[in-house]
Amino acid sequence: VNSKSRASLALYYQWFGARAYATCGKSGIINKPGFTSCSACGGTGRLHSSEMGYHAFCDVCVTVGGSYAGIKNPGRMGGGWTALITPDSAVLSTGADENLEAFKPMANVQLHKNTVQKSLIQGLMTPPEPPFMLIAFGNSNVDTCKQLRASYSKDLIYICGARIDRVDARYVRHTVSAIKEYGFPKKQTQQAVTAYSLLARGMATASAIEQAKKTITDAELKNPGIIDFIRSMPMTDSTEYKWTMACAYEKE
């Protein structure tokens, strides 16, 4: 764990460290013989492990790697769970109400039933006052300790957890409002931006370039103004593009 992750780890630990584990589940057998380091991050110190467990986890990794009483199979925070943490509050979201129940005893933690996509979109579009941390837990949270990133501005937001997305949120919010203003359909926006990205990179055969130009011309005929708009869109292989499309065409 490098010094950058350590700063974020402190924020995470405040809400979802050993305290969450102790509040919601079993505290685990401390320092089970045979285990000297955390199975996830390799850290030493206090370790938690279940009686039959093949792994031992440190105070932080146990919150995603260990089992909570009250959470259905697989018994831990994983895919489908998100958290938005600030120094003063924490919002924990997942799709199943009964799983959230396990965290009810924790003071100042707001529990919301929500999908991962919707929670992250809310975090990007209406972020809290910085610093904050937006976490999307994955099925395998092996790198959680190393992959926590706090955001220190509303315009540059890190979505961390199973992977790290560094998102220029200001750019995303700007393009999302433009898409909503013009009302371009999703399919045509996707096709036009893909074609424009291909032309901008210039790495294609002559026939592919011709096809891309035709796609853009057709899109302009159906949606006047789309050419000017796609010039300001992020390229298709960027995280900004991924989140612009997700936020602009979010299903109600």
Contact residues toward other proteins (CB under 8 A) are 2-4, 6-7, 34-36, 39-40, 42, 54-55, 65, 131, 140-143, 146, 150-153, 155-156, 166, 168, 170, 201-203, 237
Measured CA to CA, the distance from residue 23 to residue 154 in angstroms comes to 31
CB of 241 to other proteins, least distance (A): 14
Nearer to other proteins, 87 or 131 (CB): 131
Cβ 42 vs Cβ 61: under 8 Å: no
If 0-12 CB within 10 Å is exposed, 13-18 middle and 19+ buried, where does residue 48 land? buried
CB of 150 to other proteins, least distance (A): 7
Nearer to other proteins, 7 or 246 (CB): 7
Nearer to other proteins, 80 or 185 (CB): 80
CB of 72 to other proteins, least distance (A): 19
Nearer to other proteins, 100 or 124 (CB): 124
Q: What are phi and psi of 57, to 5 degrees?
A: -125, 150
CB of 175 to other proteins, least distance (A): 15
Q: What are phi and psi of 77, to 5 degrees?
A: -70, 130
Measured CA to CA, the distance from residue 67 to residue 76 in angstroms comes to 5
Cβ 123 vs Cβ 159: under 8 Å: yes
CB of 119 to other proteins, least distance (A): 22
Nearer to other proteins, 6 or 231 (CB): 6
Measured CA to CA, the distance from residue 66 to residue 64 in angstroms comes to 6
